[in-house]
């Protein structure tokens, strides 16, 4: 069976996902695209795919069985709610939404429908190095995790006015999600320290040093640098009671020449996580073909949103900001249990 998919948002990551869905992965066909910028959508549409005038017409089209949302974060809520109303399995790029109230509306709609439909684009959970790291921690041979050091460094961001909003809403959410997943725990409080400002980006509040306090007492420190210049550099190390487990330095060809010996660093997320995105969609296609969703849930999207909100409050207050979550609907404990009949 071939899953017929519609893609909303045909910018940077929309185009990258269209490439993998048409040229890399099997069992899927893109039958429609839509973007506020119709010309961009037409340019990105694979041969034979229809360009829809609005996301709503794409979502409700009988030709579309499942939806991939790659529009901007503030547009996700409306599009997700439409997809849930239409009972269509949906992959939604992070951030799932940009406010706690919006996250709760998505959760409420999905739970009311009685079937898991939403997978959020936290691709690190599909990365082989992160998966091996989690296997070691879950295995318990190192004892309980005490600290997780996470470095999230982007080469650059487009020019414009950036305060703390973008690094915390758009970037920190990955570290929040991977911390919860790796440590099997929830985040209960956030602090943010602002180091000396880097001169790399003229109007940029960069970097940020974030502390995430986990419910069972572990502490996560996160370096968020969004304009570090030299490349895209993701690191992670978990200190446990009886040992330390870390992501490996990714293998890269060693080049020796007149300038010395060196290895290249990925330019951006597309290069660093290429296999992770492929695997993320392989698993999404399998679940969506069965009419449901697995992987990171709307609950995970909610938790990441709360963390970004708390981090923004912590920048303003300079102190510790508590996170209070609603009781987790049991629905999210059994992700596969409610598959389509
Ligand atoms: P982008 O600006 O390159 O593209 C976004 C596209 O969405 C644009 O073409 C825009 O016209 C379109 N769009 C915006 N609002 C819309 C709406 N209401 N209806 C239809 N189209 C709309 O941005 P991007 O870098 O591709 O990011 C898109 C999303 O993907 C963001 O949420 C971003 O955080 C996320 N993202 C995730 C990763 C990851 O590693 N998982 C990487 C990059 C981006
Ligand atoms: C981007 O939107 C992503 O999601 C990347 O994975 C992340 O590293 C980057 O900071 C974000 O801007």
Domains and CATH numbers, the chain: 3-122+276-297+326-333 (3.40.50.720), 124-267+304-322 (3.30.360.10)
| Beta carbon of 13 within 6 Å of any ligand 1 atom | yes
| Confidence band for 210, pLDDT divided at 50, 70 and 90 | very high
- pLDDT exceeds 80 at position 203: no
Atom of ligand 1 nearest to the CA of 75: 18
Cα-to-centroid distance, 92 and ligand 2 (Å): 14
| Beta carbon of 170 within 6 Å of any ligand 1 atom | yes
Cα-to-centroid distance, 315 and ligand 2 (Å): 20
Residues 6+ apart with CB under 8 A from 149: 220, 221, 235, 236, 237, 238, 239
Judged by its nearest atom, the ligand closest to the C-alpha of residue 274 is: 1
pTM comes to 0.96
pLDDT digit string, tens, across residues 21-66: 999 999 999 999 999 999 999 999 999 999 999 999 999 999 999 9
pLDDT digit string, tens, across residues 260-314: 999 999 999 999 999 999 999 999 999 999 999 999 999 999 999 999 999 999 9
Average pLDDT value over all residues in the chain? 95
Q: What is the mean pLDDT of residues 152-170?
A: 85
Ligand 2 atom 10 nearest Cα? 171
Cα-to-centroid distance, 100 and ligand 2 (Å): 20
- pLDDT exceeds 90 at position 338: no
């Amino acid at each position: 069976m071939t899953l017929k998919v519609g893609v909303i948002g045909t910018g940077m990551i929309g185009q990258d996902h269209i490439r993998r869905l048409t040229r890399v992965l099997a069992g899927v066909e893109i039958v429609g695209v839509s973007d506020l910028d119709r010309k961009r959508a037409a340019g990105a549409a694979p041969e034979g795919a229809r360009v829809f005038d609005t996301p709503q017409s794409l979502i409700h089209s009988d030709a579309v069985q499942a939806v991939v949302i790659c529009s901007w974060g503030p547009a996700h809520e409306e599009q997700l709610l439409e997809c849930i109303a239409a009972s269509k399995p949906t992959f939604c790029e992070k951030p799932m939404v940009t406010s706690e109230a919006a996250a709760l509306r998505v959760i409420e709609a999905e739970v009311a429908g009685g079937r898991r439909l939403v997978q959020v684009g936290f691709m690190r959970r599909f990365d082989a190095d992160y998966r091996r790291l989690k296997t070691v921690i879950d295995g318990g041979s190192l004892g309980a995790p005490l600290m997780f050091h996470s470095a999230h460094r982007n080469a650059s961001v487009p020019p414009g006015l950036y305060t703390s909003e973008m690094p915390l809403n758009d970037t920190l959410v990955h570290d929040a999600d991977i911390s919860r997943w790796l440590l099997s725990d929830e985040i209960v409080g956030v602090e943010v320290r602002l180091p000396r400002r880097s001169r790399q980006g003229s109007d940029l509040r960069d970097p940020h040093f974030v502390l995430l306090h986990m419910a069972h007492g572990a502490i996560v420190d996160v370096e968020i640098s969004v304009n570090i210049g030299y490349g895209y550099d993701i690191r992670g190390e978990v200190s446990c009671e009886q040992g330390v487990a870390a992501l490996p330095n990714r293998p890269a060809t060693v080049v020796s020449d007149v300038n010395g010996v060196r290895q290249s660093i990925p330019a951006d997320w597309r290069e660093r996580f290429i296999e992770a995105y492929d695997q993320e969609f392989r698993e999404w296609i399998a679940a969506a073909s069965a009419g449901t969703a697995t992987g990171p849930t709307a609950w995970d999207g909610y938790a990441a949103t709360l963390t970004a909100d708390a981090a923004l409050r912590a920048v303003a207050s300079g102190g510790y900001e508590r996170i209070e979550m609603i009781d987790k609907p049991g629905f999210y404990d059994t992700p596969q249990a409610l598959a389509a009949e």
